[in-house]
Amino acid sequence: MTTRDHAVLRLAVDLAILTVRENALQALVITRGNEPFRNRLALPGGFLREGEDLHAAAVRELDEETGLDGDAIHLEPLGTYGHPDRDPRGRVVSVAYLAIAPDLPTPEPGSDAAEAAWMPVAETRGRLAFDHDGILSDAVERARIQLEFTNLATAFCGPTFTVGDLRNIYEVVWDRPLDPRNFSRKVLNTSGFVKPTGQKRIPQIGRPAALYQRGDQRTLNPPILRSTTATH
Amino acid sequence: MTTRDHAVLRLAVDLAILTVRENALQALVITRGNEPFRNRLALPGGFLREGEDLHAAAVRELDEETGLDGDAIHLEPLGTYGHPDRDPRGRVVSVAYLAIAPDLPTPEPGSDAAEAAWMPVAETRGRLAFDHDGILSDAVERARIQLEFTNLATAFCGPTFTVGDLRNIYEVVWDRPLDPRNFSRKVLNTSGFVKPTGQKRIPQIGRPAALYQRGDQRTLNPPILRSTTATH
DNA sequence: GCAAAAGTGTTCTTCTTACACCCATGA
DNA sequence: TCATGGGTGTAAGAAGAACACTTTTGC
């Protein structure tokens, strides 16, 4: 047939990259160098290329815009955002990915982005271009849930970490205090969550803590649940 | 710029429509009337139209291909499938939706589909066109999880149902037997899951059962968890 | 009364929570 | 010895699992 029975569109890949920095949940945002929304904050992203797989595009954008190694960093599909009016340039459907990174030095700005920087998620609310506020909210909610049922928290840490480090991730992402003693037991009783390295980290003050690395078990059994009777 | 820096592609919406029929988890499959994969089984779906929202496209396809009312049926985004070689016609990225329907009369075949029919999910394995086997597997896994944390099970039932009906949904979808007595208590103790109608259903044999309708609470608290110490 | 499915009571166990208490280190 | 954070013990309460038992109907 010659008549077009489908929409002409472009497909973008956008990244919600989260980390815990300075005791706050932070997201990587760029300042847009081009129209539309020039000089506005946005999530890093770009268009899908010819013959390119979606996940590969996410890995490429992560590298291009932030210098992070997509193969080393937790990266998972988050959702697809396709409202017809979401991009003033025309029909652009965006596949969003959630990336979790350890606390790293400030990323190097990439080609498209005038500037890339970590910013506390709370400070981004209402300030992002396109529908990126919504994407970031969804990303944070997803991360909060994933902490309960997967070992995602270890992706926020470096190669080795203490139970205290891990607890700090949970406290910051969930925005609620946890009992250090019960948390410790829960983590160590959840088989495959973490693996002892035999090493210890000596802090400037206080008792040395055992160092762990990420375990093999992606899904936690039993899970680390947010209590329903929370303090609030 | 004049050079193209993005992929030319079409966007499809595919539907994984699940129901419980004859004590089996069944999916709605069509027999394809056109190439590619002519006469092969596939999930219903079609291309996104000009200016059409993704969710609206899913509702439209549901109506066109099955006659089901998309506004009355549970419909949620499942994932996006974009492998470059997934469609022999060229680059087609598919946004898949999960739909849950009560046990209904055999759907009427639509325009594009030579035939639409319910088929037990177990019988579809390895027989679907494109990457639809994978999409359907993801749909089933999503449904299993959603039964734990949301009132999705009520979407499998008609407007009113008994606790026994609801238990049957869980047993079929999870493929494991549940204790009727404990299940009953769990459901009724989970506030907002179901709402009593005051009516009773008189069976051909046995004690009448109270009829309920879906409650207001979409997310269940406490959840109905699959036991980890399962029989198998 | 009997069959069948609905629903309640009860016990055992496991998980969660709260918190007292001890441990290992540097200053 | 003190401050600091790491880590164990333990008892009360909540939730889940297993199952004996009662209820309500049609036949």
d(C-alpha A230, C-alpha B216), whole Å: 22
Q: What would the mean pLDDT of B180-197 be, rounded to a whole number?
A: 95
Q: What would the mean pLDDT of B58-85 be, rounded to a whole number?
A: 92
The C1' atom of D9 and the CA atom of A185 lie apart, in whole Å, by 12
d(C-alpha A83, C-alpha B178), whole Å: 42
CA–CA min distance B179, chain A (Å): 22
Would an 8 Å CB–CB cutoff place B80 in contact with chain A? yes
d(C-alpha A92, C-alpha A16), whole Å: 17
Greatest CA separation for chain A: 75
Would an 8 Å CB–CB cutoff place A122 in contact with chain B? no
Report whether pLDDT(B2) > 60.
no
- pLDDT for the residue numbered B83: 97
Strand C reaches within 7 A of the B202 CB: no
* Phi, psi torsion values for A95, nearest 5 degrees: -95, 115
Q: What is the band of B232 on the pLDDT scale with cuts at 50, 70, 90?
A: very low
| CA neighbor of B224 nearest in space, from B163, B137, B141, B146 | B146
The C1' atom of C17 and the CA atom of A179 lie apart, in whole Å, by 9
d(C-alpha A183, C-alpha B26), whole Å: 42
Interface test with chain A among B9, B78, B111, B219, by most A beta carbons within 10 Å: B9
Lowest mean pLDDT among A120-124, B12-16, B171-175, B205-209: B205-209
Protein CB footprint (7 Å) on chain D nucleotides: 3-9, 15-21, 23-27
What rounded mean pLDDT belongs to chain B? 91
Pairwise CB contact (< 8 Å): A5 & B49: yes
How many other C-beta atoms lie within 10 A of the C-beta of residue A66?
25
- pLDDT for the residue numbered A70: 85
- In contact, B61 and B68? CB cutoff 8 Å: no
- Taking CA–CA distances from B46, the nearest residue in chain A reads A6
| CA distances from residue B103 to A108, B17, B124, B208 in whole angstroms, order as listed | 55, 11, 18, 22
- pLDDT for the residue numbered B106: 67
| Residue B202: nearest nucleotide (C-alpha to C1') | D25
CA–CA min distance B66, chain A (Å): 20
Per-residue pLDDT for chain A (232 aa), expressed as one digit of tens each? 445 678 889 999 999 999 999 999 999 999 998 889 999 999 999 999 999 999 999 999 999 888 888 888 999 999 999 999 999 999 999 999 999 999 876 665 555 546 889 999 999 999 999 999 999 999 999 999 999 999 999 999 999 999 999 999 999 999 999 999 999 999 999 999 999 999 999 988 889 999 999 999 999 988 999 875 443 3
- Smallest Cβ–Cβ distance between A95 and the set B47, B53, B80 belongs to B80
Catalytic: which of B52, B76, B115, B148? B115
Strand duo A10-21 + A92-100: pairing: parallel
Q: What would the mean pLDDT of B194-215 be, rounded to a whole number?
A: 94
Strand D reaches within 7 A of the B222 CB: yes
Give chain B's end-to-end CA distance (angstroms, integer).
60
- pLDDT for the residue numbered B5: 76
CA–CA min distance A37, chain B (Å): 18
Omega before B36 within 30 of 0, i.e. cis: yes
Non-local (6+) Cβ contacts of A186 within 8 A are A224
- pLDDT for the residue numbered A204: 87
Would an 8 Å CB–CB cutoff place A1 in contact with chain B? no
- pLDDT for the residue numbered B35: 85
- pLDDT for the residue numbered B1: 46
The C1' atom of C16 and the CA atom of A213 lie apart, in whole Å, by 26
Would an 8 Å CB–CB cutoff place B223 in contact with chain A? no
Q: Which pair of tokens denotes residue B29? A: 């499959």
- pLDDT for the residue numbered B66: 80
> DSSP states of chain B as a string?
--S--S---EEEEEEEEEEEETTEEEEEEEEE-SSSSTT-EE--EEEPPTT--HHHHHHHHHHHHH---TTTSEEEEEEEE--TTS-TTS-EEEEEEEEE--S-SPPPP-SSEEEEEEEEHHHHTTTBSTTHHHHHHHHHHHHHHHHHHBSTHHHHS-SSB-HHHHHHHHHHHHTS---HHHHHHHHHHSTTSEEEEEEEE--SSS--EEEEEE-S-SB-SS--PPPTT---
- pLDDT for the residue numbered A37: 95
The C1' atom of C19 and the CA atom of A181 lie apart, in whole Å, by 10
Strand C reaches within 7 A of the A232 CB: no
Amino acid at B130: F
Would an 8 Å CB–CB cutoff place A173 in contact with chain B? no
CB-CB neighbors (< 8 A) of B78 in chain A:
none
- pLDDT for the residue numbered A186: 95
CB-CB neighbors (< 8 A) of B9 in chain A:
9, 11, 48
**CB < 8 Å & 24+ apart, contacts of B80-83:** B80/A54, B80/A77, B80/A80, B80/A95, B81/B14, B81/B131, B81/B134, B81/B135, B82/A11, B82/A48, B82/A53, B82/A54, B82/A95, B83/A53, B83/A54, B83/B131
Q: What is the band of B124 on the pLDDT scale with cuts at 50, 70, 90?
A: very high
Task: Count CA atoms within 13 Å of residue B86 on its CB side.
Answer: 24
Strand C reaches within 7 A of the B182 CB: yes
The 3-state secondary structure of A85-133 reads: CCCCCCCEEEEEEEEECCCCCCCCCCCCEEEEEEEEHHHHCCCECCCHH
CB-CB neighbors (< 8 A) of B7 in chain A:
10-11, 47-52
Lowest mean pLDDT among A121-130, B74-83, B213-222: B213-222
- pLDDT for the residue numbered B86: 97
Segment A136-178, tens digit of pLDDT: 999 999 999 999 999 999 999 999 999 999 999 999 999 999 9
Would an 8 Å CB–CB cutoff place A209 in contact with chain B? no
The C1' atom of D10 and the CA atom of B170 lie apart, in whole Å, by 38
- Smallest Cβ–Cβ distance between A52 and the set B48, B49, B84 belongs to B84
pTM confidence score: 0.93
